[in-house]
Amino acid sequence: MNMSKEIKKDLLPKLRIRYARRNREGKSRMLDELCEDYGYDRKYAIKLLGDTLPRPSGRPKPGPEIRYGLIEPVVRQIWKTAEQPCGKRLVGALTRWLPHYERRFGKVSSKQRKLLKEVSAATLDRLLQPARAEHRPRGRNGTKPGSLLKTQIPIRTDSWDVSQPGFLEADTVAHCGGSLAGDFIWSVTYTDILSTWTEGRAVWNKGAHGVLSATCDAEESLPFELKGFDCDNGSEFLNHHFLRYFQERPKTVSFTRSRPYHKDDNAHVEQKNWMWPRQLLGYQRLEDSELVEPICALFKEAWGPLHNFFIPSQKLTESLSENCIKPNNQASLRSWIRIIAR
């Protein structure tokens, strides 16, 4: 016969007090009596008298109060406004964006302000995990190989002096909506390897003349002199127009290409494809040629200044060779790659 709710309510508190005061033999006798009288399993009886059964779902979990839940609305709003950066980048942006948040949404409490200064990147990622749960569709690869000048344009072999700005990587993104057939708008992204300064332009149909014009316009917006230009093997870059543009000038610009089917060769610009054209324009098909000029103006006058001046970016600052890492040295593994926010 199981113990009724009324008996549990009246008898269990007294039994638990007696159980806690007894030694090992006394506890064993109490467990024997409880199992014999009510038919309980011994493990269940131990949890029942020790008050270690799982609590009903309606009750709060025991333990310390969740501290950072207080700042979740503030973090979420700043995260959305700052174009959804990762936790490492968001840490660097919180204190700078907080005054603008307060002007629009009101002052935050002193406790919230303190937590916003103490919160770590990992905690921010956990707080924002529900907001990132939405599915992100993947695009299509629209690169068509340009074999005409492959022998004249060398593959980059990391011979650039990237300790100074001016060495760009370039890539194109198709706004085709899922089908590469027909005419539509493309985005061209340019990223400086040292400073991560990024420019973007829109072109119609990714023709060589349009991509070259976009490149000329992007170069005029750079706050530094162009010294090197690296791209993939697409025909929009590997053509005589680009070759003359970089070589027939008073100071020649180094023009290189990546290895075929090695996207990591252009990793600096590839990682910008989401936060630049995709995050701003999405994955829908853009097949109205009249949108090219407004999108270019948006890239140049709003999107570019926002990312280059107000949103932190990540950059690899140190990489140790594999020979320097001992297999069982966890400290060495943790220090292998260190990423900071600019």
Q: What is the pLDDT of residues 80-109, one digit of tens each?
A: 888 888 888 898 889 889 999 999 998 989
Q: CATH number for the domain including 228?
A: 3.30.420.10
Domain membership flag for residue 77: yes
Largest CA distance in the chain: 100
Q: What angle do CA 202, 206, 208 make, to 5 degrees?
A: 110
Domain membership flag for residue 291: yes
Task: Please check whether residues 180 and 290 belong to one and the same domain.
Answer: yes
Domain membership flag for residue 261: yes
Task: Please check whether residues 266 and 181 belong to one and the same domain.
Answer: yes
Task: Summarize pLDDT for 209-246 with one digit per residue, the tens.
Answer: 899 999 999 999 999 999 999 988 888 888 888 888 99
Task: Please check whether residues 42 and 77 belong to one and the same domain.
Answer: no
Q: Are 328 and 75 in contact (CB under 8 A)?
A: no
Partnered with residue 168 across adjacent β-strands are 192, 229
Task: Please check whether residues 108 and 79 belong to one and the same domain.
Answer: yes
Q: What are phi and psi of 93, to 5 degrees?
A: -95, -20
Task: Please check whether residues 15 and 79 belong to one and the same domain.
Answer: no
**Which residue segment(s) compose the domain that 73 sits in?**
68-127
Domain membership flag for residue 119: yes
Residue with tokens 């020790």: 50
Mean pLDDT, to the nearest integer, of 188-215? 92
Task: Please check whether residues 231 and 119 belong to one and the same domain.
Answer: no
pLDDT at residue 134, as a whole number: 62
Please give the Cα distance from 314 to 307 (Å, whole number): 12
Please give the Cα distance from 6 to 146 (Å, whole number): 83
Task: Please check whether residues 114 and 229 belong to one and the same domain.
Answer: no
User: What would the two tokens of residue 340 be?
Assistant: 């900071």
Task: Please check whether residues 183 and 285 belong to one and the same domain.
Answer: yes
User: What would the two tokens of residue 335 be?
Assistant: 């220090």
Domain membership flag for residue 108: yes
| Range in 90-104, 301-315, 321-335 with the lowest mean pLDDT | 321-335
Domain membership flag for residue 140: no
Burial track 277-313 (b if 16+ CB lie within 10 A, e otherwise): bbebbebeebeeeebbeebbebbbeebbeebbeebbb
User: What would the two tokens of residue 92 be?
Assistant: 């660097």
Please give the Cα distance from 48 to 225 (Å, whole number): 75
Task: Please check whether residues 259 and 297 belong to one and the same domain.
Answer: yes
Task: Please check whether residues 221 and 307 belong to one and the same domain.
Answer: yes
Given 105, 127, 149, the domain boundary residue is: 127
Give the 3-state secondary structure percentages of the chain, helix then strand then coil, rounded to 5: 45, 15, 40
